[in-house]
Amino acid sequence: MKLAVVGVNHRTAPLEVLEQLAVVGTDIEGADKRLAARTGQAVVLHTCNRTEFYTIAEDTQHAEEVVAEFLEEKYGILYASLAPYVYSYFHTDAVNHLFRVTCSLDSMILGESEVLGQVREAFGAAVAAKSASTPITRVFHQALRVGKRARHETAIGQNARSVSYAFVELAKRTLGDITGAKALVIGAGEAGKLASVALRNVGVEHLTVMNRTPGRAVELAGELDGAYVLPMDDLQGALDDSDIVIACTGSLDYMITHEAVSHAVADRGDRPLFFLDVAVPRDVDPAIKDLESVFLADISDLDAIAAVNRQRREQEAERVEVIIEDEVRRFQLWWDALRIVPTLADLRRQSESLRERELARTLKRLQHLSPADHDIIASLSKSLVNKLLHNPVTRLKGEGNPADIQSLRWLFRLDGDLDGDVVDNSGASLPEQA
């Protein structure tokens, strides 16, 4: 049983498919527990442009079958509708993929930093749900370290743009100078905060924040120095008065309907209204694209900006790939050592059993010796066994491979019963030496 990952992301699936898995993202700890109940371990990673299921499986087919049953039985999601867009990786390929995710090489915006925190949160949820143990905990701890290495040892994250910032860039391309625009951000989570900061950075002064939890909106507005706060009940009025609307909530339903936008544009004349939908599932009804002077962009519209960003960072991405190769190699060494541990434990257990039995036989014949002499002989037997095992154990830990492990188990009969007799190659028992 090894690490496996089954998932879909922005590279393999359209937005409509990503939205199908949004229900899983609203119940991460529950999803962790339910999937782990089938496989023993699980971590579910859900972001705006990916949903991935990390688990333990025999192979990719086994992993996909388990995920398919889990999604269909627990969430009513037909796996057949996802199958054309699904990717799956196994063992070191799965480890390599996770490391690429944490280093943002698999992100829409190459170099963005949000994904490292998202992986940390997903792993934390799995730990809280008690759905992760070795080897998954080892892999995720290492993945988070690899993500940090990539940012400290390369410039992959230097002046990187977030998805929210890319949306603001898209608004500038469409509307031109937006410094005098009235902007509305709906959602005060991480995406909302990044969008608000991006708007401020390009010179937007009139900024209003709304959130279903009012306290978070007030907190974010305080960080933005001069931003306004409105309750969600005033959404229609806020739409009427805005030029740019960035929506990034966790709602499973449309927060901004066609009816609400129709009302907002009725008295605007030719003044455009630009919507940026950062959310998955979408916050804005896509039907509003048909309205006059209304522009709508979602994550599927970021390809051009993402491509330019990737070209600028291609050289740093190559340096990150080298780090990832090194870390995958380290993982494989750890995994190989992990496989050696049971064999070494069996060898140690067998050797100790033989030592104790032969020591007891010998001391029966030396009853005339003092207890102190018996202790000396016992100490000698322990030292002798340890010295005989030292070289093979050290070599196996440092350079051992599966063939070496198999040979050692065969040579020492670690998979069979040890009856105490010495056996020659013909299988005939030889008498014990007196």
Q: Do the Cβ atoms of 85 and 12 come closer than 8 Å?
A: yes
Residue 248 annotated in active site: no
Nearest CA-CA partner of 342 in 415, 419, 420: 415
**Cα separation values, 366 from 255, 310, 371, 432, Å:** 88, 79, 10, 18
For residue 291, the tally of other CB atoms under 10 A from its CB is: 16
208 vs 195: CA distance, rounded Å:
12
For residue 263, the tally of other CB atoms under 10 A from its CB is: 13
Eight-class DSSP state of 398: H
Write the single-letter amino acid at 380.
L
Q: What one-character-per-residue DSSP string does 232-272 give?
A: GGGHHHHHHH-SEEEE----SS-SB-HHHHHHHHTTTTT--
Eight-class DSSP state of 290: G
Write the single-letter amino acid at 25.
G
Query: What's the first-to-final CA gap in the chain, in angstroms?
Result: 47
55 vs 19: CA distance, rounded Å:
22
Phi-psi map region of 413: left, alpha, beta (phi>0 left; psi -120 to 50 alpha): left
Q: Choosing from 24, 48, 210, 245, which is the catalytic residue?
A: 48
State the DSSP H helix or E strand holding residue 52, giving kind and residue range, or none if neither: strand 50-57
Query: Which residues make Cβ contacts (< 8 Å) with residue 60, sequence separation at least 6?
Result: 4, 6, 88, 89, 90
Phi-psi map region of 186: left, alpha, beta (phi>0 left; psi -120 to 50 alpha): beta
Query: Which residues make Cβ contacts (< 8 Å) with residue 108, sequence separation at least 6?
Result: 10, 49, 163, 166, 299, 302, 306
Which are the catalytic amino acids? 48
